[in-house]
Structure formats: C-alpha cells, structure tokens
C-alpha cells in the first residue's frame, strides 16, 4: 500500500565542524549520567534472524525503546541529560560531578531556586521532559500541536506538567514555547531543534540520545557483529538522526556504516533539502498530516543537518502505509523472532527496509545501498504503542493507509 521516495545525497560537504557534538567522550558523559538514574538499564535489542533470512539480509537488529524508563519511548534520554547539564552549569559543576540523586536533592534545589522547563512536543519528548522535571521537583510547561491525541496529552499531564494542545503546527508551538520561556523568570527552553543562537541545549539533547546508539553498538558486538553495515534512522527535525549518525561516524571513522534517513512523506524537510542539493535547508509548512506524529516537523535542526549532509548516503520518505506495514511486521514477527511493539514513529525505518527488500520498484535503491545477504542492518524502534487505540486499529484491526 505505502510508497517510498528516495534521493541520493549529492550535497556539497562542509568542514564537518558539528561532528564533534557527538564525540565519544561527550556520549560517555551522557551514558554515565543515565546510569545514575533510577531504573536505568539498556533497552533490549531484537535480533530478527528469521526476518533477515526472509528479506535476504545477513542480520536485522531493532533497538526496542518501548522499554525506556517505563516511558515507552527513547526521548527521555535527551531531555533528562539536558536538564542535568543545565543545572550543573548553573551551580558551577561539571556534569560528571553530579549524579541524578544529587540533582534531585533538596539541598541542590534550594541552591538553584525554582526552574520552569518549557518545551513543544507531539508527545514523547514532552512526556520525557515532564517526567524528568517531576523527578527533579521542578515545573514543566508543555505545548502540543493541533491534532495531538488525548492519550499522549494525558500521559504528559500525569507527570505533573502544565500542558495544552494549541491550534498551531509543531514548529509554531516551538516558537510559542520559546517565547514563554524567555519571559518567565528562570524559564528554560528544552527543545531538540537548533536554530541560530539556540545550539547548546539541542546539542546536549543529541548527546543524550547517544546513550541509545552506544548501547546498540555494544549489543551488536555482544551478538558477534563487529559493526552495522547499514543504519536506518527516522527523522523529524533530525536531532535523533544527527545523534545516531554522528555517534556511529565517530565510533567507526575508518569504516562507517551506510546511513539512510527515513522521514514522513508529509514532513520531509531533510529529503527536500537533499533534492535541492545545494546544502541549504528546506522547510515544510502547513499541518503535516500523518500518523507519524513524532516525525511531523517541518524545520530542520541546523546542527544535525550539517552532520547529515556530510555522512548520510540516501534520504527517503515514507507514506503512512509504509509505517503501518512496519508496525504489523514487527508486531507479528516470523516464528522464532522476538516481537517488537513499535508505534507509528518507531516503525517507519523497518517499513522502508522491508519495502526496499521486497518491492521490485525499489530495486535501484536496493542496489545503490548494496543491501544483500552480507548486510548487518541496525534500526531504532523509538517508541512503543504510545497511542494505544491507534496501535490497535492498525495492528489488530488492519486499518489501511496509502
């Protein structure tokens, strides 16, 4: 049912100045901090050996973020590390000197004073920020774009945040939240999209996402695979993609994997930038209607965009039908493979991979990427069933999308 579009990355390379954001030493700091958080453990890596055989690949690994801190999504990794770094900076400490329990202590909170963390979200990032603010006994204010589901709204509200659904798209909600933060005493904007003058916090968020990439690399090595030959990663503003691509480019500088970015067709700002081909950013406006709520972002993170321009091989887009196919295939795996409960924004990379390996019209892309029986492919299922009703509609009831 679904459709995949693709474009080879022929954009001019830059001096790659932003790759250092994802330096291994920075990611190590984030991982060390996350290990001090209550409930931290690496999320499972699903090794889909039967599926890889079916698709004609050597190995398919899916990092299952539905187990992250009981929040059903990876996003808390970025928000929590950023809030920790902000507090550490405010009290004149390096993040390596502070663990989570110290940050949450009454003594440190009294020294810091009350802080209000602001963010815009389709759901998962806002829930992560609200959860971390709650644990740190600080306030959070979360703005959601129009079309956000009540299930995701309620998840954020349950963490104690002040939350609203606005009559604007995601990118406009980012601007609104930032304006509120700027006029609030001790207000801090925690957003993973960078723009000129707002780069430090998004870089910290990307470093927080690096924990997931580091775990994945270690888990693949433990499974006897030296490194992934291919990494498929989804993108909204591109912070996750930039974090993952940046991490693996730094980890395997002599022999990096082939990187493929997957976007929702309705919000494909990175793909459109690659089509233009000059290296300039492209912006997608309007309502960006898609089931892939976490990918419905039209303005790229400038820091990530620089990393992606230099290291990604192919940019792809997926219609909702591709995401739905990915959800169903991961949710009802071939006998012997583990199940992955993957939500609408978690499953698109797998949906695209499956389409490339099975659809004749994508044979040219398959050849371009050299995907074959020697390929060890890594994907990230970034969320579980964060909208349970829609998940059931798609996976149980077989709701169809173009």
The pLDDT of residue 307 is 98
Residue 343 has pLDDT above 90, yes or no: yes
Burial class for 176, CB neighbours closer than 10 Å (0-12, 13-18, 19+): middle
The pLDDT of residue 190 is 96
Closest CA to 234 of 308, 156, 127, 334: 308
- Give the pLDDT band (50/70/90) at residue 278: very high
Catalytic residues: 75, 122
Mean pLDDT for the stretch of residues 128-147: 94
- Give the pLDDT band (50/70/90) at residue 188: very high
Q: Express each pLDDT in 40-99 by its tens digit.
A: 999 999 999 999 999 999 999 999 999 999 999 999 999 999 999 999 999 999 999 999
- Give the pLDDT band (50/70/90) at residue 123: confident
Centroid of chain to Cα 366: 24
Across 110-124, 213-227, 385-399, least confident range: 110-124
Mean pLDDT for the stretch of residues 332-341: 98
Mean pLDDT for the stretch of residues 109-137: 93
The pLDDT of residue 247 is 98
Closest CA to 192 of 321, 21, 368, 72: 21
Average predicted confidence (pLDDT) for the chain: 96
CB contact at 8 A, 328 and 391? no
The pLDDT of residue 259 is 99
Which helix (H) or strand (E) is 392 found in, with range? helix 388-395
Residue 1 has pLDDT above 80, yes or no: no
Question: Token pair 């887009």 is at which residue?
Answer: 317
Neighbours of 96 (CB within 10 A): 11
- Give the pLDDT band (50/70/90) at residue 6: very high
Neighbours of 364 (CB within 10 A): 10
Name the β-bridge partners of 64: 381
Question: Token pair 């055989």 is at which residue?
Answer: 53
CB contact at 8 A, 227 and 217? yes
CB contact at 8 A, 346 and 264? no
Q: Express each pLDDT in 238-276 by its tens digit.
A: 999 999 999 999 999 999 999 999 999 999 999 999 999
Closest CA to 306 of 236, 239, 400: 239
The pLDDT of residue 389 is 96
Runs of H (alpha helix) within 252-312: 269-276, 302-311
The span from the CA of 167 to the CA of 145, in Å, is 7
With a CB cutoff of 8 Å and minimum separation 6, the contacts of 47 are 59, 60, 61, 223, 337, 338
Which helix (H) or strand (E) is 231 found in, with range? strand 230-235
- Give the pLDDT band (50/70/90) at residue 37: very high
Handedness of CA 129, 85, 298, 181 (dihedral sign): positive
C-alpha pair distances (Å), 31 with each of 88, 208, 272: 16, 7, 33
* Secondary structure (DSSP) of 165-215: E-SS-HHHHHHHHHHHHHTSTTEEE--S--BTTB-HHHHHHHHHHHHHHHH
* Secondary structure (3-state) at 278: coil
* Secondary structure (DSSP) of 118-161: EEE-SSHHHHHHHHHHHHTT-EEEEEE-TT--HHHHHHHHTTT-
- Give the pLDDT band (50/70/90) at residue 231: very high
The span from the CA of 107 to the CA of 88, in Å, is 13
The pLDDT of residue 111 is 86
Which domains can be identified in the chain, with CATH numbers?
Answer: 4-74+201-395 (3.40.50.1100), 76-194 (3.40.50.1100)
- Give the pLDDT band (50/70/90) at residue 321: very high
CB contact at 8 A, 159 and 400? no
């Amino acid at each position: 049912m679904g459709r995949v579009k693709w474009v080879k990355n022929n954009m001019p390379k830059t001096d790659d100045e932003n790759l250092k954001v994802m330096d291994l030493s920075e990611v190590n700091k984030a991982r060390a901090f996350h290990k001090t958080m209550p409930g931290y453990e690496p999320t499972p890596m699903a090794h889909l050996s039967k599926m890889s055989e079916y698709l004609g690949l050597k190995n398919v690994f899916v990092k299952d973020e539905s187990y992250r801190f009981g929040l059903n999504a990876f996003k808390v990794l970025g928000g929590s590390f950023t809030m920790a770094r902000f507090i550490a900076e405010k009290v004149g400490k390096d993040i390596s000197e502070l663990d989570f329990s110290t940050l949450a202590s009454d003594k440190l909170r009294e020294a810091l004073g009350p802080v209000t963390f602001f963010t815009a979200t389709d759901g998962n990032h806002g829930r992560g920020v609200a959860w971390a603010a709650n644990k740190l006994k600080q306030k959070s204010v979360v703005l959601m774009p129009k079309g956000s589901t009540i299930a995701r709204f309620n998840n954020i509200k349950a963490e104690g945040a002040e939350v609203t659904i606005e009559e604007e798209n995601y990118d406009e909600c980012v601007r609104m939240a930032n304006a509120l933060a700027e006029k609030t005493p001790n207000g801090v904007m925690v957003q993973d999209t960078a723009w000129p003058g707002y780069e430090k916090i998004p870089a910290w968020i990307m470093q927080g996402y690096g924990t997931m990439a580091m775990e994945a690399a270690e888990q693949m090595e433990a499974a006897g695979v030296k490194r992934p030959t291919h990494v498929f990663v989804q993108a909204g503003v591109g912070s996750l993609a930039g974090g993952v691509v940046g991490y693996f480019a730094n980890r395997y500088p002599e022999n990096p994997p082939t990187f493929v970015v997957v976007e929702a067709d309705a919000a494909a700002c990175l793909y459109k930038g690659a089509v233009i081909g000059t290296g300039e950013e492209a912006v997608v406006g309007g309502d960006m209607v898609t089931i892939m709520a976490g990918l419905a972002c039209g303005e790229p993170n400038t820091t990530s965009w620089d990393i992606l321009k230099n290291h990604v091989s192919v940019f792809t887009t997926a219609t909702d039908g591709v995401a739905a196919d990915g959800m169903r295939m991961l949710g009802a795996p071939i006998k012997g493979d583990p199940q992955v409960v993957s939500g609408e924004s978690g499953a698109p990379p797998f949906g695209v991979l499956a389409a490339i390996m099975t659809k004749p019209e994508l044979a040219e892309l398959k050849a371009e990427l050299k995907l074959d029986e020697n390929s060890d492919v890594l994907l990230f299922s970034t969320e579980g069933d964060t909208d349970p009703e829609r998940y059931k509609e798609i996976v149980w009831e077989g709701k169809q999308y173009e």
